[in-house]
Amino acid sequence: MDLVRHLSFFVAVAEEGHFGDAAARLEMTQPPVSQGLRRLEKELGVTLIRRTSRGADLTSAGRELLPRARLLVDDAKRLSAEARRLADRADVLRWGAVLHLGAPLTAVCAQQVASATTDQDMVTEPASALVAQVIAGSLDVAVIDHPCVTGTLVADSVVRLPRWLVLPADHAAAGAARPRLRALTDLAVCLPPRAWNPPAHDQIVDGFREHGLDSAVRPVTSDTELVAAVAGGSAFGLTAHPELFAAVPSVRCASVSTDVTALRLRVIHKSPDHAAIAADVTAALRSEADGGGHPK
């Protein structure tokens, strides 16, 4: 016996108080509803509905069991609706990227994802949050900065993208072809907050110190905050996309000879089903690092 279906007959008759009205609500004829209710009563071993000349009245057992019957019927409807939603989204690839990846690189990744799936959902979060979401299964793939604690997740090879210094236009180092990092000791360095990815944050700070630069760190969470800090004349930052700052008169971008400033990225995933798209996104990022569309 289809328990949920027969419970829906019971709920409809109880709420309508009439077999004919219940059948109309269920878009059925009356005999199957009446027969189904009798089967349910036989299965449960109690009489639920008392048939009268006026229609249908609940028995004492029916009154006690009706609330639970409603819950079961409603839960079954919600289950079916959720299953339909998941089926409709079966071809949606859910992916994420670190907030400081930047619009151009995010677009490169999105184009690669679009070539492999009919639809995509994308979020931008700190690396630590992206790792947690991939582990939990709410994301399929994520682009994070390296190094990062990823646990048992699968991480593709590291891609290094060059980054330029973003300097105040009137700073002495702004006119040099390739300024030395130690020439920036009078400026704070703008970096994403350490909490976003402590290992990556500490690696770059340690790299600066090895090159004679031990500046105060100013956390920034966006290019807008970076521009504001640099334009104020007291800080410098890093960008993988100097073209985005070309129209800002108060800042200058300069390349450096060391790769300590490089943006190191990895694509992570959990399921073998997503290994191919992760590899494709890694390849697209590597193409950018090798100069495919990346400004020199």
The yes-or-no verdict on residue 90 having pLDDT over 70 is no
Answer yes or no: is 294 within a domain.
no
Residue 58: how many other CB atoms lie within 10 Å: 19
pLDDT for 257 equals 82
Same domain, 139 and 280: yes
CATH (domain of 38): 1.10.10.10
* Chain segment 158-211, per-residue pLDDT in tens: 999 999 999 999 999 998 989 999 999 999 999 999 999 999 999 999 999 999
- Domain edge (last residue) among 34, 58, 88: 88
Same domain, 152 and 268: yes
The yes-or-no verdict on residue 86 having pLDDT over 70 is no
Same domain, 152 and 278: yes
pLDDT for 249 equals 92
* Chain segment 217-273, per-residue pLDDT in tens: 999 999 999 999 999 999 999 999 999 999 999 999 999 988 899 999 999 999 998
Domain extent at residue 35:
3-88
Same domain, 283 and 244: no
Same domain, 283 and 234: no
Rg over CA atoms, the chain:
31
pLDDT confidence tier of residue 85, bands split at 50, 70 and 90: low
pLDDT for 294 equals 43
Q: Give the number of domains in the chain.
A: 3
CATH (domain of 117): 3.40.190.10
Q: pTM for this structure?
A: 0.69
Percent of the chain scoring above 70 in pLDDT = 96
Query: What mean pLDDT value characterizes the chain?
Result: 92
